[in-house]
Structure 1
């Protein structure tokens, strides 16, 4: 089962690397890049922190999300355990923000599906194994031949 979660983590991380790269350059797909640029104009208009006086510029927003996805995706796929967990958390926040923006813009369900599936997989990776009790190994530190000490 551990192999399945490792494979899922690596594939999901690489998916985010590709998604971030699409936001950073038009060299992969000029059409997708132009579409993302126009979408981020709308996303900036409904940015969740806009009510607190912070509204990002669309291109800065696009580039920031792109770099976050690339770096966090690489760390999720290939980083040490602690950085995998941190990147999972960061990508979860990004996906919640994406879903918020899509819902506020009243986008069709098909357009919300990639962010919803990505969020679900990130949460699955985050909560895997947390419901199971971990075995505690007890070590016997008493010298050989002596009975264990009695505790009162």
Structure 2
């Protein structure tokens, strides 16, 4: 059951991030949302987290394209690519959402602006926890199987 939930959650989150990343990259999906994304990134650049440490402030359009591209790539990986890359993309998306939450907080935008990012971080965290639980269960089952095989082997030696 948990594996089914993990697959569905991965697919839904992946499609969502592909859609949101595409909105940031091109106006072909929705012109108004694209313009809003551009304005948001122009404002977000002013509170970029590494400005204080490095003195470097990214170009808003490059920043938007990098975040949008990362969301599309990570979304595709989350939805369609099997293996450990899913967890790496999950963590990267969590970091991107945390960066968005920080930007909205630093700009005093209020909870209504950052609520979507908070929900996405929670969903990505749930997905990661479910994955870790499945892996832990697989390890426990493999260990139990090895223990049982060793016990049976020991019994045969005693006979």
Match of 1:3 in 2: 4
Match of 1:147 in 2: 158
| 4+ long deviations beyond 3 Å | 129-133, 140-145
Match of 1:103 in 2: 105
The 1-side partners of 2:132 and 2:32 are apart by: 42
Are the aligned partners of 2:6 and 2:131 in contact in 1 as well (CA < 8 Å)? no
The 2-side partners of 1:145 and 1:50 are apart by: 68
Match of 1:38 in 2: 39
- Offset of residue 145 of structure 1: 4.2
Matched residue SS, 2:50: helix
Match of 1:55 in 2: 57
The 2-side partners of 1:21 and 1:28 are apart by: 8
The 1-side partners of 2:51 and 2:101 are apart by: 16
User: What's the TM-score, normalizing by structure 1?
Assistant: 0.89
Identify the match of residue 116 of structure 2 among 105, 114, 117: 114
- Offset of residue 80 of structure 1: 1.6
Deviations 1:76-122 (A, max 9, x none): 11112201011001101101100000111111212111100000011
Matches within 5 A, 1:13-28: 13-28=14-29
The 1-side partners of 2:118 and 2:72 are apart by: 19
Question: Pairwise CA RMSD of aligned residues?
Answer: 2.0
Greater per-residue helix proportion: 2
The 2-side partners of 1:130 and 1:70 are apart by: 24
Does residue 81 (structure 1) correspond to residue 92 (structure 2)? The answer is no
Runs of 5+ in structure 1 lacking a partner? none
Give aligned pairs, total.
148
User: What's the TM-score, normalizing by structure 2?
Assistant: 0.86
